Amino acid sequence: RLTPACIMDPVAQFRDKLIARDYGSIIELGRIFRRMANEDHRPNMSLEDFESGIAEYAVTLEKDEAEAVFKAIDKDGSGTLDINEFIKALRPPMPKEREDAVLQAFQAIDQSGDGEISTEEVRKYYNPKMHPMVRRKKWTEERALEVFLKVFETPGDKDGKVTLDEFINFYCNVSASTEDDEDFFQIIKNVWKI
Ligand SMILES: [Ca+2]
Ligand SMILES: [Ca+2]
Ligand SMILES: [Ca+2]
């Protein structure tokens, strides 16, 4: 289902390469970049960082391909990328109806309307008392809620709150691996009872 425009698009090509490897690849690569940024105490990555991160993850990409991808993602032309910019550009595109369903769910869960899902807000949907570690008194309820929320959070940047971007990133990956629209809506419904 590749269109000629898609074949020419270096970001789409790179995304296909990553997804061919594993749906979690984009997030995983984002984690490598974040770790490198932390080590170097620099929030943004250069083209060289980008290339060595790709090499570390062992995705084959020619130098000119890497440059083309980097330039396409670096929308403001600053010569550096931040990791959120990277994940946002690389996440698999999601059809409009699916994105609307994800947005709707997020707005329903985020009752405070501050743009983040907190552990308190998630209590309504997930009962931490049922968690085996809580029942065995190894974890607090708060801990169980945090662990539940972590699934939606960006690896390497887990602060116990889920932003809209993190929420969409998560469901973009679910969407990419779910062919049928009804199945996709059902997945959201089952967790969030919406
Ligand atoms: Ca930039
Ligand atoms: Ca909130
Ligand atoms: Ca977060």
Reported as type and span, the H/E element at residue 3 is none
Considering the domain architecture, whether residues 100 and 86 belong to the same structural domain is answered as: no
Distance (angstroms) between ligand 1 centre and the Cα of 67 equals 13
Q: Is the pLDDT of residue 187 over 90?
A: yes
Considering the domain architecture, whether residues 106 and 142 belong to the same structural domain is answered as: yes
Q: What is the pLDDT of residue 96?
A: 94
Considering the domain architecture, whether residues 38 and 105 belong to the same structural domain is answered as: no
Ligand nearest to the CA of 106: 2
Ligand nearest to the CA of 77: 1
Considering the domain architecture, whether residues 13 and 57 belong to the same structural domain is answered as: yes
Residues 102 and 152: beta-carbon distance below 8 Å: no
Determine the Cα–Cα distance for residues 165 and 136; give it in Å rounded to an integer. Answer: 34
Considering the domain architecture, whether residues 69 and 13 belong to the same structural domain is answered as: yes
Q: Which two tokens stand for residue 2?
A: 């590749």
Band of pLDDT at residue 159, cut at 50, 70 and 90: confident
Quick one: which of 165, 33, 26 has its CA closest to 102? Answer: 165
Considering the domain architecture, whether residues 113 and 183 belong to the same structural domain is answered as: yes
Distance (angstroms) between ligand 3 centre and the Cα of 116 equals 8
Domain total in the chain: 2
Considering the domain architecture, whether residues 112 and 38 belong to the same structural domain is answered as: no
Distance (angstroms) between ligand 3 centre and the Cα of 2 equals 34
Band of pLDDT at residue 177, cut at 50, 70 and 90: confident
Determine the Cα–Cα distance for residues 160 and 94; give it in Å rounded to an integer. Answer: 25
Determine the Cα–Cα distance for residues 98 and 123; give it in Å rounded to an integer. Answer: 25
Considering the domain architecture, whether residues 100 and 188 belong to the same structural domain is answered as: yes
Q: How far is CA 143 from CA 101, 123, 126, 168, 174, in A?
A: 28, 12, 13, 23, 25
Give pTM, 2 decimals: 0.76
Q: What is the pLDDT of residue 23?
A: 64
Q: Which domain holds residue 123?
A: 96-192
Distance (angstroms) between ligand 2 centre and the Cα of 113 equals 5
Q: Which residues surround ligand 2, an ion (CB under 5 A)?
A: 110, 112, 114, 116
